[in-house]
């Protein structure tokens, strides 16, 4: 058995060139949060130490709310609750509401109630004697998935109610995107300029020292040590999901961590990676981009592009006050992208 965890799916480019030319000074630091690395770079920082402390405090706070492995988190409270409403923070309410909306838009391709399947496959933290679960185990886990979640409340008082008391949720595919947007807003509010990388999400905030667009490199899913090209963006968040991020090789077959709720097995769509750009760096937009990248990876290229063109999706983007763009790399190596991405994507020659 061979395991792999790739915790950065996209890379900011051209930083070293800026620094070596004396255009900017920078301060970079790394934290470990939500079972992945959080990398931050600030250009000409106003107060790097204070900003770092504020970031670490906020990242810890969000993890303590959204993690399924922390007993005192909102997620654990939901998972151990019966049919009664569970009081939660606004952050958790937004994540669950976003997950529910993406579930509806994608006909179930994204589903936070697949926690029993995620735990059964255990690809994120496999044991030395890991083996794929048996079909009957998968069927039993699937029977626990698919429960409905209702979010109610406003003005600081929120609750989540489950339709099935056995429902367990995992916000791993939406929480990091939410945190990415929240931390981006935190740095912007402190007058900082730079970017952060959080698992498969990158957010930019403020401006580059030379006033140009940020360059976000997109990894080649067939050779994650290299890049297929770059996106030139001035704002927003890029979220990428792919089977190369976390996987286990067992008896010549690769099992990645993205579960298809319809089958109970790792997704087998025609996509090697699914990238979503959202034009604003807000918590809500980040959560949506994060969930959409997973959903589109499961859906495949054709159904994802149909989603993008649908009136329901356009109305959803309008409700968030943002623009989305899709960039897919198919398993045969071809690229599929929306028109707005084709305007900002530059391929690299091999």
Tokens of 164: 């099935």
How far, in whole angstroms, is CA 34 from its chain's centroid? 11
Q: What is the pLDDT of residue 15?
A: 40
State the residue for tokens 């402190």. 190
For the segment 184-222, what is each residue's pLDDT rounded down to a tens digit? 999 999 999 999 999 889 999 999 988 999 999 999 999
Measured between alpha carbons, how far is residue 223 from residues 9, 226, 331, 333 in Å? 11, 6, 12, 11
Q: What is the tally of structural domains in the chain? A: 1
Distance CA 319, CA 343 (A): 24
State the angle between helix axes of 311-320 and 301-309 in degrees (0 to 180), rounded to the nearest 10.
70
Q: What is the pLDDT of residue 34?
A: 92
For the segment 136-193, what is each residue's pLDDT rounded down to a tens digit? 999 999 999 999 999 999 888 999 999 999 999 999 999 999 999 999 999 999 999 9
Q: What is the pLDDT of residue 54?
A: 98
CATH of the domain at 333: 3.10.520.10
Measured between alpha carbons, how far is residue 143 from residues 49, 116, 160, 256, 327 in Å? 49, 9, 21, 21, 33
At 277 the three-state DSSP class reads strand
Q: What is the pLDDT of residue 7?
A: 38
C-alpha torsion angle, residues 185, 227, 288, 26 (rounded to 10): -10
Distance CA 313, CA 217 (A): 26
Report the DSSP pairing between strands 149-154 and 86-88: unpaired
Report the DSSP pairing between strands 149-154 and 345-347: unpaired
What is the span of the domain harbouring residue 317? 2-347
pTM of the model: 0.93
Low pLDDT (below 70) residues in the chain: 1-24, 350
CA angle 132, 133, 139 (to 5 degrees): 140
Q: What is the pLDDT of residue 26?
A: 86
Q: What is the pLDDT of residue 25?
A: 86
Q: What is the pLDDT of residue 215?
A: 93
**What is the per-residue DSSP string for 131-149?**
-PPPHHHHHHHHTT----E
Q: What is the pLDDT of residue 21?
A: 45
At 168 the three-state DSSP class reads coil
């Amino acid at each position: 058995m061979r395991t792999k965890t790739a915790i950065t799916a996209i890379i900011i480019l051209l930083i070293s060139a800026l620094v070596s030319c004396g255009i900017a000074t920078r301060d970079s630091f790394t934290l470990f949060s939500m079972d992945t690395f959080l990398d931050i770079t600030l250009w000409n920082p106003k107060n790097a130490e204070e900003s770092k402390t504020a970031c670490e405090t906020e990242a810890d706070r969000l993890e303590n709310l959204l993690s399924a492995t922390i007993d005192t988190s909102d997620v654990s409270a939901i998972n151990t609750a019966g049919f009664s409403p569970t009081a939660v923070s606004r952050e958790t309410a937004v994540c669950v509401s976003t997950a529910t909306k993406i579930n509806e838009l994608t006909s179930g391709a994204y589903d936070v109630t697949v926690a029993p399947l995620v735990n059964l496959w255990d690809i994120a933290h496999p044991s030395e004697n890991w083996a794929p679960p048996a079909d009957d185990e998968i069927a039993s886990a699937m029977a626990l998935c698919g429960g409905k979640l209702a979010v109610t409340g406003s003005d600081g008082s929120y609750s989540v109610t489950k339709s099935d008391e056995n429902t367990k949720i995992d916000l791993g595919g939406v929480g990091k995107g939410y945190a990415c947007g929240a931390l981006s807003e935190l740095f912007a509010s402190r007058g900082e300029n730079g970017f952060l990388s959080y698992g498969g999400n990158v957010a930019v905030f403020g401006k580059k020292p030379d006033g140009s667009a940020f360059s976000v490199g997109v990894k080649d899913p067939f050779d994650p040590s290299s890049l297929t090209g770059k996106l030139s963006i001035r704002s927003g968040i890029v979220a990428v999901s792919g089977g190369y991020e976390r996987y286990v090789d067992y008896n010549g077959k690769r099992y990645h961590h993205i579960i298809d709720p319809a089958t109970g097995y790792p997704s087998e769509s025609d996509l090697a990676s699914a990238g979503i750009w959202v034009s604003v760096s807000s918590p809500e937009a980040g959560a949506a981009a994060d969930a959409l990248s997973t959903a589109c990876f499961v859906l495949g290229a054709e159904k994802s592009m149909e989603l993008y063109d649908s009136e329901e999706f356009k109305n959803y983007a309008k409700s968030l006050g943002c623009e989305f763009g899709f960039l897919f790399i198919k398993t045969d190596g071809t690229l599929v992208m929306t028109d707005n991405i084709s305007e900002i994507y530059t391929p690299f020659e091999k």
